[in-house]
Amino acid sequence: MTLIHFAILLPIIAAVFIGVLYRYYKKVHLGWFVLPVPVLIAAYLFTLIPTVSNNQVIFESLQFMPKIGMNFDIYIDGLSLLFAILISGIGALVVLYSIGYLSHQEKLGNFYVYLLIFMTAMLGVVLNDNVLMLYLFWELTSISSFLLIAFWFNRERSIYGAQKSMLITMFGGFLMLGGFLTLSLITDTFSIREMMDQMPAIQESPLAPFALILILFGAFTKSAQFPFYVWLPDAMEAPTPVSAYLHSATMVKAGLYLVSRFTPLFAFSELWVWTILLVGLVTLVWASFNAIKQDDLKAVLAFSTVSQLGLIMSLLGVGALGVHSGASEQVFTVAIVAAVFHLINHATFKGALFMIIGIVDHETGTRSLKRLGGLVTIMPISFTLTLITSLSMAGIPPFNGFLSKELFLEAMFAISEADFSVLADVSVLFPILAIVGSIFTLIYSVILIRGIFLGKVQPKTPKEPKEAPPLMLVPPIILSVLVVVFGLFPNLLSGTIIDPAAMGILNTAEPLNTEISHWHGWDSPALWATVSIVVIGTLLYLFRNTWMPVYRLGSKSLSINHFYDQGLIYSSLGAEKITDGYMSGYIRSYLVYIFSGFTVLAVITLINTDITFDWSTTSEINITEVAIMLIILASLVAILITASRMVAIIMFSVIGFSLSLLFVFFRAVDLALTQLAVEAIITSLFLLAFFQLPKRARHEERRRFKLNNMFISVAVGAISIIFGIAAYSNRLFDSISQFYIDNVYDLASGGNMVNVILVDFRGMDTLFETLVFGLAGLGIFILLRLRVNKKGENEYEEHA
């Protein structure tokens, strides 16, 4: 247990105290007690930056479940550190913001406990080296996300959104676990580091494509890539601090982390490279296109987040292509640097935007674009912040979004020019898709600014609008300042954070020495792309009324949401059908399953096992014994065919008594005596019950019913015989009986071995047997005497 382990677990430990504290002390807003946790973690992580930017990695092992290879192994390189800093840093700002956002009336205890659980889970995901632990924390993020989305659990939409996000991300997570297990099958380890050392084995393995696809499912569902993105817009039902934190800055980036982490391992595969690249680009275009038609501000941001995640994903694809082709060309490194840089930038501008939208919602009571407008004079600070962050999102200089967008376009142009055998014909599409996506991004960024703050003042907001309290403004101000600072001085980041992270993704030790510049010269294609984006975007925005009807095309029944809803309905119907199909409620059905299952398993065993029969050691056949056995057989037949209950009962007793006679012949006198006594009592019991039971011993049965039963019985009987003879013929172990025979007098001073075993050697068993017996007696008494009367009370019957 090192300091790093403690730092990861600190939030979840704090959650316990926070939960208790909230019960007894409500004078001060609970958020103030939570705030130190992420601040402390962030401060601690900042102290690690010098170590990591010197290309050193930190590895701390902690045995958790070594038997199954599940260890709490911490591995920190630039990549993990970047994510960890984002998690704790944004976390601190979000907690601060939530103090203003959530009032005392809300269930603050729940909120902060969930949030703290999430923090631990997310830190655990990005700092782990062990894939099993990674999976554990991964699902914990899904669970805490579920709880946070459903925070206002009396709203139907919240529950719907929570369930949707849970189902989709857990579906992916489970497949991801499959991928991890496949990987561990190939490499025989659960450590990512050790997997990296066995790269050749993975590349040769035929299982690798499966592992790769399964892991991508996990990444794409979590990072809301096409077509799994549908959960993210519905997750916006969560309180805005949660949306800013989980569903924009951190949790949805876990998929990106996963892809980055496994890129060195899988980049050999074309499947990996092209899937990431194409899915990322499609997501970028599709989501930015859809963001424009949204009316709810948070929905705009949700689609925007999806499209930005797609952008980063496609950049990772380009970077992976570099690793794949083995070319250490500048363009691929640029792509990775752009991905890391945009990841940071997105966290800053999107986090700030979410917080401002939350402020607007908080102060006006609505998030609908139709009901907002002209707030610039009333909320000047919020307006300024929105302007900065939206323009950064749109890729306008001098903000940080411009720089990473420029790098992105550059990478896309470079990839279209590079020569690759696969998809060479369509590679010209990459920059086009990138530009189209960026145009849409510009349009919705403008819509955000124009729709909320400019234009006519809308008088009909549910609340009288006013500027937010300082407490809520501080976090977005901090983020906006970062947007400007990173935009003006990007090289503050490049050496300290971006380079180590990019080196982590590329799995290289060579220093990159990235210099991010604002100006690439007149001949840079990215420059002209940016210019055309701004021009076309502005034109499209101005004439939006002419082309907006495009959104009405396309049938609702083709949408992914429709598909999800129907899938949910049909899967539950299907499950019900299947369950109803075999859970018939008849005891006979269950017995049939048991006996058929027994038969099938037994037959499989018989086929696969080499069984020998040995007849040689049997004892001689005695005529008297055979005669008794024939009596038993005859009685059995009588029971089977009779319709009279009297005959059935008497024949049953005959079997019992004949059995005790057989025991005598078989030198089992104690058994014989016991059987005799028990049989006498059972017979009298049956006769006592005689008056209480119906006259007929059997019911009309159809021929088919009988034949089925007969078939199963014959099968079970035959298999019992085969198994019995096989077990008799093959003795795998020496019997322990000799021990009892030798020691029965020395240890227990008794002569009758059976008795001594029962009451002495196995005395405890016999004691419990007595207990069972007593319980049965008690049960019989209760069944006979107690009954529930019409008033629902227990009633004691004198004469049953």
Subset of 573-592 contacting another protein (CB under 8 A)? 584-588, 591-592
Query: What amino acid occupies position 742?
Result: D
- Determine the Cα–Cα distance for residues 301 and 311; give it in Å rounded to an integer: 15
**What would you report as the CA-atom Rg of the chain, rounded to the nearest whole angstrom?**
37
Q: Min. distance of Cβ 667 from another protein in angstroms?
A: 4
Is 727 a binder of another protein (CB under 8 A)?
yes
Token couple for 309: 């995640």
Choosing from 13, 721, 747, 767, the residue that interacts with another protein (CB under 8 A) is 721
Cβ nearer to another protein, comparing 213 with 680: 680
Piece in contact with another protein (CB under 8 A), picked from 169-177, 209-217, 226-234, 672-680: 672-680
Choosing from 419, 523, 610, 701, the residue that interacts with another protein (CB under 8 A) is 701
Q: Min. distance of Cβ 796 from another protein in angstroms?
A: 15
Cβ nearer to another protein, comparing 520 with 698: 698
Cis peptide before 398 (omega within 30 of 0): yes
Is 656 a binder of another protein (CB under 8 A)?
yes
Q: How many residues does the chain have?
A: 800
DSSP 625-659: HHHHHHHHHHHHHHHHH--BHHHHHHHHHHHHHHH
Neighbouring residues of 197: CB distance < 8 A, sequence distance ≥ 6? none
The size of the interface with another protein (CB under 8 A), counted in residues, is 96
For the beta carbon of residue 512, count every other beta carbon within 10 angstroms: 18
Cβ nearer to another protein, comparing 558 with 764: 764
- Determine the Cα–Cα distance for residues 313 and 437; give it in Å rounded to an integer: 14
Give the x/- contact pattern for another protein in 616-655, rule: CB under 8 A.
-xxxxxx--xx--x--xx--x--xx----x--xx--x--x
Is 185 a binder of another protein (CB under 8 A)?
no
- Determine the Cα–Cα distance for residues 223 and 176; give it in Å rounded to an integer: 13
Query: What amino acid occupies position 480?
Result: S
Piece in contact with another protein (CB under 8 A), picked from 33-41, 65-73, 211-219, 706-714: 706-714
Q: Min. distance of Cβ 734 from another protein in angstroms?
A: 12
Report strand pairing: 786-788 vs 794-796: antiparallel
DSSP 119-177: HHHHHHHHHB-BHHHHHHHHHHHHHHHHHHHTTSTTSHHHHHHHHHHHHHHHHHHHHHH
C-alpha separations of 382 from 7, 273, 349 in Å? 34, 41, 13
Is 32 a binder of another protein (CB under 8 A)?
no
Contact 479, 93 (CB under 8 A): yes
Is 378 a binder of another protein (CB under 8 A)?
no
For the beta carbon of residue 121, count every other beta carbon within 10 angstroms: 25
Is 668 a binder of another protein (CB under 8 A)?
yes
Q: Min. distance of Cβ 575 from another protein in angstroms?
A: 21
Choosing from 471, 481, 568, 725, the residue that interacts with another protein (CB under 8 A) is 725
Is 687 a binder of another protein (CB under 8 A)?
no
Q: Min. distance of Cβ 625 from another protein in angstroms?
A: 7
State residue 296 phi and psi, 5-degree precision: -70, 130
Is 659 a binder of another protein (CB under 8 A)?
yes
Cβ nearer to another protein, comparing 607 with 772: 772
Give the x/- contact pattern for another protein in 746-765, rule: CB under 8 A.
----xxxxx--xx---x--x
Choosing from 25, 153, 489, 728, the residue that interacts with another protein (CB under 8 A) is 728
Neighbouring residues of 541: CB distance < 8 A, sequence distance ≥ 6? 442, 443, 446, 447
Choosing from 714, 730, 743, 763, the residue that interacts with another protein (CB under 8 A) is 714
Cβ nearer to another protein, comparing 381 with 671: 671
Give the x/- contact pattern for another protein in 758-797, rule: CB under 8 A.
x---x--xx--x--xx--xx-xx--xx---x---------
- Determine the Cα–Cα distance for residues 346 and 355; give it in Å rounded to an integer: 14
Q: Min. distance of Cβ 593 from another protein in angstroms?
A: 12
Cβ nearer to another protein, comparing 20 with 689: 689
Is 735 a binder of another protein (CB under 8 A)?
yes
Q: Min. distance of Cβ 617 from another protein in angstroms?
A: 7
Is 713 a binder of another protein (CB under 8 A)?
yes
Choosing from 595, 602, 638, 650, the residue that interacts with another protein (CB under 8 A) is 595
Piece in contact with another protein (CB under 8 A), picked from 18-26, 34-42, 253-261, 697-705: 697-705
- Determine the Cα–Cα distance for residues 497 and 469; give it in Å rounded to an integer: 33
Name the one residue in this structure whose structure tokens are 């009807």.
Answer: 549
Q: Min. distance of Cβ 671 from another protein in angstroms?
A: 6
Q: Min. distance of Cβ 622 from another protein in angstroms?
A: 7
Choosing from 1, 558, 732, 736, the residue that interacts with another protein (CB under 8 A) is 736
Angle (CA) 380-384-389 rounded to 5° is 145
Cβ nearer to another protein, comparing 43 with 627: 627
- Determine the Cα–Cα distance for residues 46 and 40; give it in Å rounded to an integer: 10
Strand partners, 74: 60, 128
Cβ nearer to another protein, comparing 57 with 680: 680
Q: Min. distance of Cβ 240 from another protein in angstroms?
A: 48
Q: Min. distance of Cβ 369 from another protein in angstroms?
A: 54
- Determine the Cα–Cα distance for residues 75 and 87; give it in Å rounded to an integer: 16
Cis peptide before 239 (omega within 30 of 0): no
Cβ nearer to another protein, comparing 131 with 648: 648
Is 621 buried (19+), middle (13-18) or exposed (0-12) by CB count in 10 A?
A: exposed
Give the x/- contact pattern for another protein in 87-126, rule: CB under 8 A.
----------------------------------------
Query: What amino acid occupies position 365?
Result: G
Token couple for 645: 């209950």
Choosing from 25, 59, 489, 745, the residue that interacts with another protein (CB under 8 A) is 745
- Determine the Cα–Cα distance for residues 619 and 629; give it in Å rounded to an integer: 16
Q: Min. distance of Cβ 610 from another protein in angstroms?
A: 20
Piece in contact with another protein (CB under 8 A), picked from 284-292, 384-392, 440-448, 675-683: 675-683
Q: Min. distance of Cβ 749 from another protein in angstroms?
A: 10
Contact 364, 465 (CB under 8 A): yes
Cβ nearer to another protein, comparing 189 with 729: 729
- Determine the Cα–Cα distance for residues 123 and 141; give it in Å rounded to an integer: 10
Cβ nearer to another protein, comparing 104 with 588: 588
Q: Min. distance of Cβ 599 from another protein in angstroms?
A: 10
Name the one residue in this structure whose structure tokens are 């009324």.
Answer: 545
Cβ nearer to another protein, comparing 421 with 735: 735
| SS3 sequence of 336-357 | HHHHHHHHHHHHHHHHHHHHHH
Crossing angle (nearest 10°) for helices 254-266 and 108-127: 10
Is 491 a binder of another protein (CB under 8 A)?
no
Q: DSSP secondary-structure letter at 758? A: I
Cβ nearer to another protein, comparing 513 with 735: 735
Is 703 a binder of another protein (CB under 8 A)?
no
Is 661 a binder of another protein (CB under 8 A)?
no
Cα dihedral 235, 238, 244, 249, rounded to 10, equals -40
Contact 339, 316 (CB under 8 A): yes
Nearest Cα to Cα of residue 184 among 174, 195, 176: 195
Residues 228-287 that bind another protein (CB under 8 A): none
Is 197 a binder of another protein (CB under 8 A)?
no
Choosing from 689, 707, 747, 767, the residue that interacts with another protein (CB under 8 A) is 689
Token couple for 124: 């655990």
Is 737 a binder of another protein (CB under 8 A)?
yes
